[in-house]
Structure formats: C-alpha cells, structure tokens
Structure 1
Amino acid sequence: MNDGTTSDRKRDTSGPAARGDRMDGVTRAFVAHRNLLFTVAYEMLGSAADAEDVLQETWLRWAGVDLATVRNQRAYLVRITTRQALSHLRTLGRRRESYVGPWLPEPLLTAPDVAEDVELADSVSMAMLLVLETLAPTERAVFVLREVFGLGYDEIAGAVDRSPAAVRQIAHRARAHVAARRPRGVTSAAETRRTVEAFRHAVETGDLQRLLDILAPDVVLLTDGGGVVRAAPAPVVGAGQVARVLGGIAAAMSLHPTRVNGDPALIVRLGGAIDTVMAIRVDDGLVAGLYAVRNPEKLSRLERETPLRR
C-alpha cells in the first residue's frame, strides 16, 4: 500500500528541488575556487577588471555543466577560465599597442600571506607580469598553469587546445624566455624592509644624495598615466635621472607604505586621495625597479585587499 511518503514514491530527480540542489553544488564549487580562478585570469591578463570579466564568463559556462560528468572540478574550472582569458588576452594585445606611454599591470593590494608564498608573490609581482607580457598568449597560459599552479601537461593541453607533447615544448620555450628576462638579484626580507624604509625617508625629505645612495645605478622608473594624467612618456633610466624625478614628490604629497602584488610599495596621496601607487623592486639591497601607476582607472582596488590563491 502506498501511503504517499517519500520512501514509497519514485524520487523526482528533475523537479525544482533537484535543480536547486544541483545549482547549490555548482555554486559551492565555483565559490570554493573563485580566488584561484581570479589569480589565474589576473596573471594571464595583468588586469583585475578584465579578470573579473573572465570570471563572469566562466560562471556562465560552469552553471550549465553537469557535475556528474566532471571528475576534477578545480581542473575543469581552470580550463574554462584559461580559455576565456586567452580570448581576452588576444584582444588586449591589440588594445595595448595603442596605449599612451608605458603600460603597467593593474596593481592589487595584497595580504601578508601572499608575500609569504614566495612563488606566488614572484608570479604576481609587477616585474614578473611585465616579463609575461613579452610571451605569446599560449606561451603565457602554459607558463602560468605549469610553473605557478603546477598543472600537469595533460590538463594544460585541454585548456589551450594543444597536444601534451606540444605543451611540453611550449613550456620549455616559455621557461627559457622568462629565465632570460626575470630579475636575478636576491635580497632578504629584512634587507628589503630596510631598503624600502630608507627609500621612503629619502623621498619624503627630498634628500637627493640619500636617494642616489639607495638607487641602483641602472634603476628603471616606469610611470603609467594611460594618457589620462601626467606621466613620463618613456622609461626613466639611471640613478641620477630617477632621483631628480622623485626629488619633488614630497612637497605636496604623503607616502604610505603598503604591499602591492606581493611587493613593498608606497601609496602616494594628494589631498587625501590616492594619486599614485609605486611598487618597489629591491635587488642586492638597492632599489632596482620602480613601477608607478597613476592611471585613475587602475587605482580602484587599492582600498581593500584582493585575495590571491594557488
């Protein structure tokens, strides 16, 4: 006799409740991996705004997936994200060809745990993201997925639509390309802190000699104004030239130490508003690279930390 209880009825696996359970599972999986997916997209694009667009597109595709057919949710989501990021990257390449002045990645305010993960901090640093800009789109995707996130060649092959053998060759070529261009200087965390503090004090006081002492002879200052605000139209190279540019900053501005993209940085405020964020690269105890972002469109994420994950 059927008394109408659930145990005696055939369970409806296609009704609203079942669909709701499925969407709950889809949502939980996406939320669990969201910070990872954002980091993948950001490392491929150098733009938080574009990375967020990629995540929206990833979600739309993921929402239609049958979870029963997915063996590894992390790998599947990374594959969708990579494909969307590759599509964006090819469009961005054409856009950046017409960018006014030096282009720098969109800076992210990062938590201390990013700096503690040395490999992650290195991979999202301004210096490394600029090196990644010199790779072809597929090379960049393969390098990021292999060297930063540790995906296997088979997984990467599915993300970039190449064979595992081809991915191995691309990875080898990309590693050699990056190794030839990445900064080589090594400085301890304690020495970096001392150097950055000395640099900040020299800028704040306008002490030209102190600046010259703390800047590497071949230091490079890149300033990104995006054609919106005033910025140097080309890289400023050499301690003397960079010191002269920085010498006049302190008069009307306040400097606040922080961490951007895992590196030490200074937020420069004018009248209380963020005017510039300057990431600092220290090699062998000297300031070797300065990455000053002034483009207002790139300064929106500096009031809150952005979680990055591997």
Structure 2
Amino acid sequence: MLLLMYILFCFITFIPIFYCHINDFQTICQAGIRQDNTNYIHCGRKQLIEIPNFTRITNTFYDELVLNDNQIIEIHKNAFQGLRVKRLNLSGNKIRFISSQAFIELSNYLEELIIEFDSNYINDIPNAIKMNLINLHSLKLINLNLIEIKNHTFIKFRKLEQLSIIKSHIKSIESDSFISLINLRYLNLEQNFLNDSSWNSLIKYLPNLEILYLSQNNFNYLKKIHLKYLKILDLSSNGLQYIDRNIFHSLEKLYLQNNEINSLQLTFLYSLKNLKELNLDFNRLTFLPEKIFQINFNLIYLSLQG
C-alpha cells in the first residue's frame, strides 16, 4: 500500500519515477514472450539513468535484456545481480564508467553484448568485458576512443564468432590483436580510420572469416589476401583506387560504392566466379571493358549509378 501511494505521489507531482528511486525492473520494464518463444525484459527508452534492480527476479532465464536509448552512464559492481540473460543491449547510451566487477553475475550466461560508450571518457575496452565475459559469441562496441587495437586484446574470447567495433577512432591494429579468434566469422570495423597498413593484421589470425565490413575507413588499395571462406566484403566509402586482380575467389557479395575506382581497375572481376551481388555506384567508371562479366554467371544484382 505504501509503495502504491509513493507511485501516485510521483505522478501527481509530475516527478519522473526514476527520481523517486523506484528502480525495480518490474515497475519500470516490460517482460514478455515473442512469437518465436524467446522471452525478454524490455527497458528501452525509459529515460533510465542507472541499471534497474533485478534482485527480486525469479530463477527465470531470459533470452534478452533491452536497455537501449536511455541515459545510463555508469555500470557498477553487482548491477546485474539476480539476472540470468543471454543477450544484453546497451546501445544508445553514453557509458562513461564500468566497474571492473561489472558483468560477473552474467559471465556464465551472456552470449551477446551490444554497448555504446562516451568516447570522451573511454579509451580502451573495459576490463569488465575483457575479463568477465569470455563466453561471448557476439560483441558489438560503439563509440570508443580506441585509436589502436593492441596485441592479445581478445586473448580470452575463444568462443567469439561476431565482433563489431564501430565508430571508435581506430587508426591501427597490432599484429597479434586477433590471435585467439579462430572461430570468428563476422568482423565489422566500419567508421574508423584504418588504412592499407592494417591489412596484414586484419587477416593474420582469421582463417574462418566469412563477412568483413570496412566501410568509411581510409583504404586505398585492396591487395591479394588469403581469406578463403570470405563471402561478403564491404569497402564502400574508402577512397579505394586499386584492386588486385586475384582476390577472394570465394566472394559472393562485394560493395565498393563511393570510391575512386576507374574502368581499367575492373579486371579483378575476372577472378570472382561466385559473385552474386556487386555495387560500384559513384566511382570513376567511364566504360565497361569488353567481356568484363564473362565468368560471373551467378551475378544477380549489379548497380552502376553515378
């Protein structure tokens, strides 16, 4: 009864609930089951300034906790106490601090993490992620001020299959950065400052990579590199000028729009017999060489705008 009166007081006086310190997830969030039978807790877009309290939660194992688009800036020790969840979405926040003891409660359960930072405060991948979440299969980091991916950064992430580090000011990758990621199949490093010097480090320890997104970086040259399972490559908006003729025989989808490729550089198409989609919009193409698509029997989508 007292709790109900307290909530009514907040509404009557137009004070937002979070200012009244009613932080229990059952009061703030919605829980449910989707059509595919996955269950979730949805706390997105609630103007939250802190992680809700999950200590009153039952022994239910949840597939997803959604905390996107709030105003959370800190994650403290025991923030997820009582919770068992497989996927956690913290995108659309501006995280400035994470305790080294954060996420420990989730270490045996969490398989997928999406988290967005305030790049004015976070210059490295927090230890709470690198040390406490080694069972992750998918990790997406947004808006770090990382500058460089250092050697052995992901040494504990032997189960990782998908890695995204987006809009994080990365200029270089040390040679042994990805040394333990033998199971990685998806890598997204879009909206950074990587250049041609990064190629060797990018592919050195990723023998099973299938999907690589590198749009909005500073690559000028795509040389022959050995990724025999690569199927999808996005190098759009890079200023790319030259492509080695013998690249990625396994490629099925190639996105090269908004670059500086001229017609004489299209000879790389002679080696892409498995290609299904190709986007060359807004390059410096003035003509198509004769029989340039003669071996691309599987090509079903081609775009040449601009």
Q: TM-score, normalised by structure 1?
A: 0.24
Q: TM-score, normalised by structure 2?
A: 0.24
Higher relative contact order (CA 8 A, sep 6+): 1
**As a proportion of its length, which structure holds more strand?**
2
